Amino acid sequence: MQNNSVNPSDLNPHLQFDGVTGELQFEKTDLSGLAQTYGTPLYVYSASSIKEAYRAYASACEGLANVTICYAVKANSNVHILKALAQEGAGFDIVSAGELARVIAAGGKPQKAVFAGVGKSAQEIEYALSQGVGCFNVESEAEMTRIGQVAEKMQRMANVSLRVNPDVDAKTHPYISTGLKENKFGVSMNAAPRVYQFAHAHPWLNVHGIDCHIGSQLTDASPYFDALDRVLALLDQLAADGIEINHLDLGGGIGIRYLDETPPTPAEVLPRLIAKVKDWAQSKGRSMPTLSFEPGRSIVGNAGVLLTQVEFLKENEGKHFAIVDAAMNDLMRPAMYKAFHGVVAVQNNAHAQPQEYDVVGPVCESGDWLAKNRTLAIEQGDYLAILSAGAYGQTMASNYNSRGRAAEVLIENGEVTLIRRRETIEDQLRPELDV
């Protein structure tokens, strides 16, 4: 049997097995009780974990520079989670008008939101301008032209930062690498001065800053510094052309532990990045630019679990399957990225014998698996916790096979709040029948 087990408390100290009952608890709340009360599949989040992760970023920057931490909404966009972060003082990194609407509904400030994404429509740009979005992170020459046209039509100044592509390998999964020239994101370093000249000359565009994001789930900090070197060299070139940049958006991407990764902490990365920018500014006789960072996964990833119930145990000529009620439509990452998520039994089953299982869902796809070759002592009806499921879980969920999206609950100080009810078939049919 393979040794790929994970101790939940190594991922999140609020996730512990009770020393007496052996029950897995999140913030001292029995997860089996939540499964019985709210049903499964069920996403469970810890508010304390989310706030602590955000504060780790804020404290890493404290006293060093004027920094805004912009939470990447795409990681987990539940309005209640956004509200908690807004109350902590977070800004937001958004990639659609829908995400901006969620931020506003959560009480977030549009002026503290940066609007990224490679395919902003004219309608999205108009909506964002009407709401007073803080800045557009522009990803192409054509987009810069479109924002200028919309801003002129509305007679509203648009703050713009150009997202540059530094052609730096983030050393992560190719689907979440964004800083190489073969990726669709950003403008090449060679093309950037021309685009900045256009924006600088446009009467309705205000050159706010420069943006760089090289990828997600980074476990090595060195690509950050390679990218920053190239960005600072571009700033020197722009200054020589008469364009002063006073804000740097250095993106996010710090990874989390899923199995045995050792990603850097905000305290290990951010002060060094800030110091590098400060040294550059002092060497040029310039004021220190304002900065922003865009963490997502590292704020919510290990703050959530997905609870699921074993429907059947099945054996095919020596291959064992635990068929559960969660599926790829609930958690896409394993099927899409071959991603690893820890899996543990929520309760100690003294009657079951340990066996190596593939944990699979009921969807009609061979790719519908959540974990492979996991040693579990379980029986039909037991509950499992899929770990590290707070990021890119519910936000990537779908109705494939006409399955309803899972419910979500948030635990804070022992109080459990339903923050998304389970989707019904009536919810799914309504847009098709109500036309």
Output the 3-class SS for 398-434: CCHHHCCCCEEEEEECCEEEEEECCCCHHHHHHHHHC
d(CA 118, CA 120): 6
Is the predicted pLDDT of residue 19 greater than 50, yes or no? yes
d(CA 107, CA 124): 20
The answer to the question of whether 107 is labelled as a binding residue is: no
pLDDT band at 226 (very low <50, low <70, confident <90, very high): confident
Query: Pick the catalytic residue: 61, 70, 212, 364?
Result: 364
pLDDT band at 224 (very low <50, low <70, confident <90, very high): confident
The answer to the question of whether 224 is labelled as a binding residue is: no
Q: Which residues pair with 316 in a beta bridge?
A: 319
Written as six digits, the tokens of 412 are 């804070």
The answer to the question of whether 392 is labelled as a binding residue is: yes
Residue range 237-247, pLDDT digits in tens:
999 999 999 99
Residue range 341-351, pLDDT digits in tens:
999 999 999 89
- Other Cβ atoms less than 10 A from the Cβ of 139: the count is 22
Residue range 150-189, pLDDT digits in tens:
999 999 999 999 999 887 754 543 443 444 455 667 898 8
The answer to the question of whether 294 is labelled as a binding residue is: yes
Residue range 353-391, pLDDT digits in tens:
999 999 999 999 999 999 999 999 999 999 999 999 999
What's the average model confidence in pLDDT over 49-54?
Answer: 98
Residue range 294-313, pLDDT digits in tens:
999 999 999 999 999 999 99
pLDDT band at 233 (very low <50, low <70, confident <90, very high): very high
What pLDDT is recorded for position 216?
A: 79
- Domains in the chain (CATH in brackets) are 8-47+301-433 (2.40.37.10), 48-296 (3.20.20.10)
Q: 0.75 cut: is pTM over it?
A: yes
Q: Is 364 a catalytic residue?
A: yes
Residue range 67-119, pLDDT digits in tens:
999 999 999 999 999 999 999 999 999 999 999 999 999 999 999 999 999 99
What's the average model confidence in pLDDT over 193-198?
Answer: 96
The one-letter amino acid at 336: M
DSSP E strand boundaries for 28-181: 29-30, 42-46, 67-72, 91-94, 113-115, 135-138, 158-165
Contact 292, 330 (CB under 8 A): no
The answer to the question of whether 127 is labelled as a binding residue is: no
Q: What is the mean pLDDT of the chain?
A: 93
